């Protein structure tokens, strides 16, 4: 076995994947990358890769147009065979993160896509490690401390995303006896903790925007609900390190703020109220809101406020969470190199500042 690294990465153009590619190119100066990227209408996988990779690094990167949701990941079998003969590591980030996919569609991408990547890893004769990037929210609707070694404990799921990511992780676990692998579970990924920069204004950003713009003040949730978010720079650094760490093999690792670094909805809302100069939110029991109040408001309201009621349904359960994520394995594996998630309240203002400066993603912002 040579020391040369040839790393297959799926999901490289996603929010996390883009940062991860940059991190690996920097941390592993002699590694070569193979990126599996979907073509889009009018934009090839190569063109999408060129948009995220600096010209002086492109000689180290091979790009293959493909899709984990297709047989053989949409790649010619001869090319797939060559890649499996040369690949030393696999990092699987590709997934659909939409909450509104049908169960069939979510399974096609998240479960069957993972199965195909696992089959590739099984055939990779020089494989040193497989890093599977899942989500901490395979915990579903639990309301306790979630251990890193736990997966299915009788919980229910809020949406097809959580359910199919749990099914995919179970599939990965079933192969770890024969494959050298690590399961990585980030919580909600937000912008860079140092600059606030983000390319994705989903998850917490949508309710934050409507609150900052005074479009909505009522929160159907609990002030003490837990918000566990982690900045993309921490997650990318952690994935890039753990994918090469032999001590991590066989482990499941929560890349989360955890009990010491997470915040409550009330704490985040107070900081947002101060930053955006808006009144603090009103909290309403979510069962009452969705059973009685929301139907009445939907009939009475029009325009932007009705759109808030409609679009906000996808986020309703995330205002009621009381579970925490244990980070024992993360601290054991990442702590010696000083890689820790910053506490949520330490970098919130930088996230807010970037939202304002970029007009919530509508215009570019120069960063140093």
The pLDDT score that the predictor gives to residue 312 is 66
The four Cα atoms 216, 274, 208, 240 give a dihedral, to 10 degrees, of: -170
The four Cα atoms 257, 9, 358, 344 give a dihedral, to 10 degrees, of: 0
Rg of the chain's alpha carbons, rounded to an integer? 21
All structural domains of the chain with their residue ranges: 6-190+230-256+323-341
Q: Class for domain 6-190+230-256+323-341, per CATH? A: alpha beta
pLDDT digits (tens, 9 = 90+) for 54-73: 999 999 999 999 999 888 89
Read off the pLDDT band of 302 (50, 70, 90).
low
Q: Are 10 and 68 within 8 A, CB to CB?
A: yes
Q: Are 229 and 265 within 8 A, CB to CB?
A: no
Q: Quick one: which H or E segment has residue 252?
A: strand 252-255
The pLDDT score that the predictor gives to residue 96 is 93
pLDDT digits (tens, 9 = 90+) for 212-260: 988 878 888 899 999 999 999 999 999 999 999 999 999 999 999 999 9
CA distance 93 to 131: 9
pLDDT digits (tens, 9 = 90+) for 307-320: 766 776 666 777 88
Residue 40 has pLDDT above 60, yes or no: yes
Read off the pLDDT band of 368 (50, 70, 90).
low
Residue 95 tokens, joined: 């997934």
Q: Are 305 and 215 within 8 A, CB to CB?
A: yes
CA distance 365 to 266: 29
Q: How many helices (H) and strands (E) does the chain have?
A: 15, 15
CA distance 281 to 319: 12
Q: Are strands 263-264 and 226-227 parallel, antiparallel or unpaired?
A: antiparallel
The pLDDT score that the predictor gives to residue 131 is 98
The pLDDT score that the predictor gives to residue 1 is 43
CA distance 188 to 208: 14
The mean pLDDT value of the chain amounts to: 92
pLDDT digits (tens, 9 = 90+) for 107-132: 999 999 999 999 999 999 999 999 99
Mean pLDDT value of segment 84-104: 94
Residue 8 has pLDDT above 90, yes or no: yes
pLDDT digits (tens, 9 = 90+) for 264-301: 999 999 999 999 999 999 998 888 666 766 677 667 66
Helix axes 265-276, 344-357, angle to 10 degrees: 40
The pLDDT score that the predictor gives to residue 207 is 87
Q: Angle at CA 149, nearest 5°, toward 169 and 152?
A: 55
Read off the pLDDT band of 137 (50, 70, 90).
very high
pLDDT digits (tens, 9 = 90+) for 44-57: 999 999 999 999 99
DSSP line for 280-296: PPEE--HHHIIIIIHHH
pLDDT digits (tens, 9 = 90+) for 172-188: 999 998 999 999 999 99
pLDDT digits (tens, 9 = 90+) for 319-356: 889 999 999 999 999 999 999 999 999 999 999 999 99
User: Which tops the pLDDT comparison, 294 or 16?
Assistant: 16
Residue 32 has pLDDT above 70, yes or no: yes
């Amino acid at each position: 076995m040579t020391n040369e690294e040839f790393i297959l990465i799926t999901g490289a153009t996603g929010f996390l994947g883009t940062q991860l590619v940059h991190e690996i190119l920097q941390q592993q100066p002699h590694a070569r990358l193979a990126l599996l990227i979907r073509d889009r209408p009018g934009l090839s996988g190569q063109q999408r890769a060129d948009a995220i990779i600096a010209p002086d690094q492109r000689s180290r990167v091979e790009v293959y147009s493909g899709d984990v949701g297709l047989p053989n990941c949409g790649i010619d079998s001869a090319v797939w065979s060559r890649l499996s003969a040369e690949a030393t590591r696999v990092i699987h980030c590709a997934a659909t993160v939409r909450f509104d996919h049908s169960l069939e569609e979510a399974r096609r991408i998240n479960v069957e896509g993972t199965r195909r990547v696992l089959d590739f890893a099984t055939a990779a004769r020089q494989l040193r490690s497989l890093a599977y990037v899942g989500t901490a929210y395979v915990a579903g609707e639990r309301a306790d401390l979630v251990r890193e070694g736990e997966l299915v404990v009788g919980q229910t799921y809020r949406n097809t995303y959580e359910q199919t990511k749990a099914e995919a992780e179970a599939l990965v676990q079933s192969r770890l006896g024969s494959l050298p692998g690590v399961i990585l579970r980030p919580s909600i990924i937000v912008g860079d903790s140092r600059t606030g920069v983000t390319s994705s204004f989903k998850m917490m950003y949508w309710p934050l925007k409507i609150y900052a713009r005074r479009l909505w003040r009522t929160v159907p949730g609990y002030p003490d609900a837990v918000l566990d978010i982690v900045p993309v720079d921490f997650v990318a650094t952690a994935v890039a390190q753990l994918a090469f760490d032999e001590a991590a093999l066989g482990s499941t690792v929560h890349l989360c703020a955890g009990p010491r670094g997470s915040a409550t909805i009330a704490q985040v809302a107070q900081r947002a109220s101060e930053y955006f100069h808006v009144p603090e939110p009103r909290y309403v029991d979510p069962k009452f809101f969705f059973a009685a109040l929301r139907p009445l408001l939907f009939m009475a309201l029009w325009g932007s406020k009705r759109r808030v009621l409609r679009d906000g349904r996808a986020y309703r359960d995330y205002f009621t969470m009381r579970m925490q994520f244990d980070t024992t394995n993360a601290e054991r594996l990442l702590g010696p190199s000083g890689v820790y998630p910053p506490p949520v309240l330490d970098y919130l203002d930088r996230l807010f500042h970037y939202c304002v400066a970029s007009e919530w993603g509508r215009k570019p912002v120069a960063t140093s």
